[in-house]
Structure 1
Amino acid sequence: MNIVVGSHNKAKVNAVRRIFAEAAIKSADVPSGVNAQPKSDMETMQGAINRAKACKQIEEGCYGIGLEGGIMQMDDHLFLCNWGVLVTPQDHLYMASGARIPLPDKIAQPLLDGQELGDVMKEWTNIHDIRHHQGAIGIFTDSHVSREDMFTHVVKLLAGQAQYQRNSK
């Protein structure tokens, strides 16, 4: 199985490696086609779809995986959100979303003002490559869940759906 992941982000690529350990995995810098900081479930999901479809075009017969992190407003709270999409060589598309936690107001306000979460977290924590490791979710869960863990769960949901579909034929 050949997989192309639509990002060079270590947390995302490692999440795919954890679930598809036997696969040949490549990463590619592909456009999400959405804002650098997606601000809704729909926009975040669309970014994952766009990345997965772009990956599939890179190598004939491969699986494309797009993983996208974003934020979404619910009532008076701003939440982390994340989406993943797997596109098979036969163009079947599987989607999944993962963990959501509310962001503290001191983090939420700069995001509402137009900054990206990764930049806000880097400034707030002084951790240069936070996007590639624990991410915001790692900070706000006191390292109980890292960004890689969060995306691993999403990739597991994608793999499970694809396997169910294969087994139910």
Structure 2
Amino acid sequence: MNKKIVVASKNPVKINASLEGMQKILPKIDFEVEGIDVPSGVSDQPMSTEETWQGALNRATNAKAKAPDADYWVGMEGGIDKDDEGKMFAFAWMCVIDKDNDIGKGMTGVFYLPPKVQQLVEEGIELGYANDKVFNEHGSKQKGGAVGSLTFGAVGRTEYYVQALVLAMIPLINKEMYKEAL
């Protein structure tokens, strides 16, 4: 059986994470994946959990509108928030929409940003660029991301996103159990 995934990004990390996550949760299905550019409708650097979720939902919704011939549409949005002490942490929301317009939500774990990165983000620099500047990297968003830099490669951005994508699929592949909630 073949199914098509449309990912609301051309970023190879997001495309690969979507495919890998789907293959993990639905191993008997062959997937075709396509990345497309669509707007998030939120800031380039979302600064709250709510804004980040809205970006993921908007991306998945916009992907479905732009490329309606698929089985799943995936929106991923990385964001930043602060704890009660003002320390900044990063995370990402995953949104998966299926053909029935049911929505699955998954979120990565969080990790705290070092003060130098936090300062640059507070000055208006998007996390990927702040990360590149502090760690003297180039294009880290298309590679290991901030999580990869801060864990010395122990956790890469693709791996980081895969688990959250799998979690987003839970209500979509267990619809009978989640009928009232969807």
Tell me which interval the TM-score lies in, with the shorter structure as reference length: over 0.9
Given candidates 147, 158, 168, the residue that maps to 1:158 is: 168
Question: Residue in 1 aligned with 2:105?
Answer: 95
Q: CA deviation at 1:142?
A: 2.0
Give the drift of 1:19.
Answer: 2.1
1:41 counterpart = 2:43:
no
Alpha-carbon shift at residue 52 of structure 1 (Å): 0.5
Deviations 1:7-48, CA, capped at 9 Å, x for gaps = 011111110111224211110011000000000000110000
Deviation at 1:110, TM superposition (A): 1.1
Q: Deviations over 1:127-169 (max 9, x none)?
A: 2121011100111122121111111111111123311225767
Partner of 2:73: 64
- Matching of residues 71-150 of structure 1 within 5 Å: 71-75=80-84, 76-150=86-160
Give the stretch that moved more between structures: 18-27 or 99-108: 18-27
2:41 is paired with a residue whose SS is coil
SS of equivalent residue, structure 1 residue 23: strand
**Match for residue 58 of structure 2?**
50
State the AA in 2 paired with 1:100. V
SS at match of 2:111: coil
Tell me if the contact between 1:80 and 1:103 (Cα under 8 Å) persists in the aligned partners. Answer: yes
Matched residues in 1 for 2:176 and 2:92: separation? 25
Whether the 8 Å contact between 1:67 and 1:83 is mirrored in structure 2 is yes
Call closer, same or farther: CA 1:168–1:117 in 2, change over 3 Å.
closer
Distance in 2 of aligned mates of 1:51 and 1:92? 15
Name the Cα RMSD after superposition: 1.5
Letter in 1 for 2:14: K
Runs of 4+ residues over 3 Å off in structure 1: 166-169
Aligned partner of 2:15 in structure 1 is: 13
Structure 2's unaligned 5+ residue stretches are 24-29
| DSSP-derived class of the 1:71 partner | strand
Distance 1:113 1:129 in 2: 20
Classify the secondary structure of the residue corresponding to 1:32: coil
